[in-house]
Amino acid sequence: MGGRGSSVKIAIWAALGIFVVYPLGRLLSSVIIGDSGPSLEPFVSALSQGGTWEALFNSMTLATAVATSGTALGFLFAFGSSRMALPGAVKKSMTAITVLPLVSPPFTTAIALTLTLGPGGTVLKLLSLPDIDIYGFTGTLLAELLTYFPLAYLTLRGVMEGSSNDLEEGAMDLGATRWQAFKTVTLPLSIPGLANSFLVLFGLSLADFASPMVMGGHRFPVLTTEAYLRITGMYDLEGGAALALILVAPALAVYFLQKHWTKRSFVTVTGRNRGPAAFIMGPVGRWSVLLPIGIVSAFILYLYGIIFAGSFVEAWGLDHSLTLENYRYAFTSGMRSIIDTLLLASVSTVIGTLAALAVAFSVVDGRSPWTEFTSLLNSVLPGTVVGIAYVSAFNSGPLVLTGTMTVMVALCVFRYGAPAVRLMMASMAQIDRSIEEAAMDLGASRARAFRDVVIPLIMPSILGGARAIFAVSMTAVSALIFLVSVRWNLLTVRILECITELMFSQAAALSVVLIVLVFAFSALLDRLARRLSH
């Protein structure tokens, strides 16, 4: 490796310097350096402006509420799938349904909620209820809860399936009742998972831009939306940057706490779950878990159905006659944004995947904690922060890239490449060294062995990484919204514009197009990965 390895490392560091360290440095300096040298004046003045404290309070309240309710709901789902004897088809559809919000554009749930519970919404009509006020805290909470609880479910399911049912059976064998077994064994063993999931959801809610933008509006400002409005509405870059900086501290705290927690997890030491649950529950316990799961699942499905149905009617809630007009709109007026989005996502995917492979290969042995931290930084920080940092850095100064494809691609690569790196590194670590050695023993050079053996074996994770980068690049909004320009327009931004102009049916049609594109590409890569996995 020698020289080649170190030149890869230098390239990685240069790229991280330009697209991670430099923008964040510019962001910081724009806030703490005033007209006359270093001062905290701009920061303090931004904080003292009217809306700041309200936004901070709203952000914290919302994040706490989302993290608590999302973790509880996720636990219910995880408990159902790991500890209850449910038919395989039920478990599969639980997973499928919960994956929907994870792979959809960020405001899908928000739009669907507007169509169902908003003014003239279908659920209200169905139950002949008067209009309720969905906009504000309640609506934002509901939208974020449905969007993010699947992550809590996946986290907790992993933790709970890692510990064996034997433990609960053991507790009951020793005389515990079902409830005692749950309280003394299941719950304590889940605490690291619960804490982890709380942190993840707290961080995601804090960083979320789309849901509060659609559901909160002016009535419920949070830090991310407030920062966006100050920059785009009032052209106050320093003010927006100061607000963004407030978000950095909690985001980093969540990141380090989460690292700390996952290291301390003690759950995985016991044997594997034998599969179909043995945790015997009474009918009351059974239904108190299954009923909420059923209702939530049905509601999610209903929401997605509404988006689909809404895209085929004239005007939702007013005129339900069928029409293809919305799709005509999507493919004419929206065509530019569809093409631009596809282009951005494809270029980002190719570059991001190759870069991730290079990083994974060069750090898989002898990684430095600083490289790792720096490479993760953009993905740990809220999109709003990164977006504003990019604006601060590339609007002026030595590198002017604003409005170019380059800067948008760079943002996608450095913000969304990290999970791909982790995926590839994990699968490289799984390859037994002897397989590579066998190839070399049979006469292959190191490079040849890497090409013939390592690449094909990690191909599924390369494709998985590509899929992840593509999906987020297609649907991301919080950071990219600061970088769109006259030259490049994006689907997500377009959808947001439709919503603010109350063109919900058109927004639904564009969302359907986006979802279909993401799913089609994911399915394609999935099939490829499955054909290649052994």
Partner 1 sequence: MAVSLQLSKIAKTFVKDNVPFHAVKELDLDVKGGELVTFLGPSGCGKTTTLRMVAGFETPTSGRILIDGHDVTDVMVNKRHIGFVFQNYALFPHMTVGDNVAYGLRMRNESAKDIKTKVAQGLEMVGLSQVEKRYPNQLSGGEQQRVALARVLVMRPKVLLMDEPLSNLDAKLRIHMRTEIRRIQKQLDITCLYVTHDQKEALTMADRIMVMNKGQVEQIGTPFQIYTAPESTFVADFIGQANILEGTLDDLDGLTSRISTGGSNLSARLLEGKSYRKGEKVSLVLRPETLSLSQGGGLLGGTVIQVVFSGDRMEYTLRLGDGQSLLAMENFYPGIKVWQEGDSVDLSFDPSLVVALP
- Give the x-and-dash track for 403-422 against partner 1 (CB under 8 A): --------------------
Q: Which of 45, 368, 445, 485 binds partner 1 (CB under 8 A)?
A: 445
Query: Distance between CA 147 and CA 140 in Å, rounded?
Result: 10
**Closest distance to partner 1 from the beta carbon of 457 (Å):** 6
170-178, 236-244, 266-274, 441-449 -> range binding partner 1 (CB under 8 A)? 441-449
Query: Which residues on neighbouring strands pair with residue 488, listed in sequence order?
Result: none
CB closer to partner 1 out of 398 and 443: 443
DSSP secondary structure letter of residue 131: P
Sequence-distant (≥ 6) Cβ neighbours of residue 506 within 8 angstroms: 326, 329, 330, 334, 498
CB closer to partner 1 out of 335 and 438: 438
CB closer to partner 1 out of 253 and 440: 440
Alpha helices for 41-107 (secondary structure H) = 41-48, 50-83, 88-103
CA distances from 248 to 77, 90, 206, 379 (A): 31, 40, 10, 12
Q: Which of 301, 350, 529, 532 binds partner 1 (CB under 8 A)?
A: 532
Query: Distance between CA 368 and CA 375 in Å, rounded?
Result: 11
**Closest distance to partner 1 from the beta carbon of 164 (Å):** 25
4 binds partner 1 (CB under 8 A): no
DSSP secondary structure letter of residue 272: P
CB closer to partner 1 out of 47 and 459: 459
CB closer to partner 1 out of 332 and 434: 434
CA-based nearest residue to 484, from 348, 344, 332, 335: 344
**Closest distance to partner 1 from the beta carbon of 3 (Å):** 17
220-228, 321-329, 433-441, 472-480 -> range binding partner 1 (CB under 8 A)? 433-441
Length of the chain: 534
38-46, 173-181, 202-210, 440-448 -> range binding partner 1 (CB under 8 A)? 440-448
163-171, 213-221, 268-276, 448-456 -> range binding partner 1 (CB under 8 A)? 448-456
Provide the CA 281 distance to its chain's centre, in angstroms: 34
534 binds partner 1 (CB under 8 A): yes
How many other C-beta atoms lie within 10 A of the C-beta of residue 233?
Answer: 10
**Closest distance to partner 1 from the beta carbon of 437 (Å):** 6
Three-state DSSP class for residue 218? coil
DSSP secondary structure letter of residue 367: -
Sequence-distant (≥ 6) Cβ neighbours of residue 260 within 8 angstroms: none
Q: Please answer whether residues 218 and 170 qualify as being in contact, where contact means their C-beta atoms are separated by less than 8 angstroms.
A: no
Q: By rule CB under 8 A, what count of residues binds partner 1?
A: 19
- Give the x-and-dash track for 455-494 against partner 1 (CB under 8 A): -xx-------------------------------------
CB closer to partner 1 out of 41 and 452: 452
Query: Distance between CA 509 and CA 505 in Å, rounded?
Result: 6
CA distances from 333 to 427, 456, 462, 489 (A): 43, 42, 35, 11
Q: Which of 21, 96, 291, 435 binds partner 1 (CB under 8 A)?
A: 435
447 binds partner 1 (CB under 8 A): no
194-202, 241-249, 356-364, 429-437 -> range binding partner 1 (CB under 8 A)? 429-437
Query: Distance between CA 234 and CA 232 in Å, rounded?
Result: 6
**Closest distance to partner 1 from the beta carbon of 432 (Å):** 6
Query: Distance between CA 451 and CA 165 in Å, rounded?
Result: 42
Q: Which of 36, 48, 321, 434 binds partner 1 (CB under 8 A)?
A: 434
- The site for partner 1 (CB under 8 A) is made up of 432, 434-435, 437-445, 448, 452-453, 456-457, 532, 534
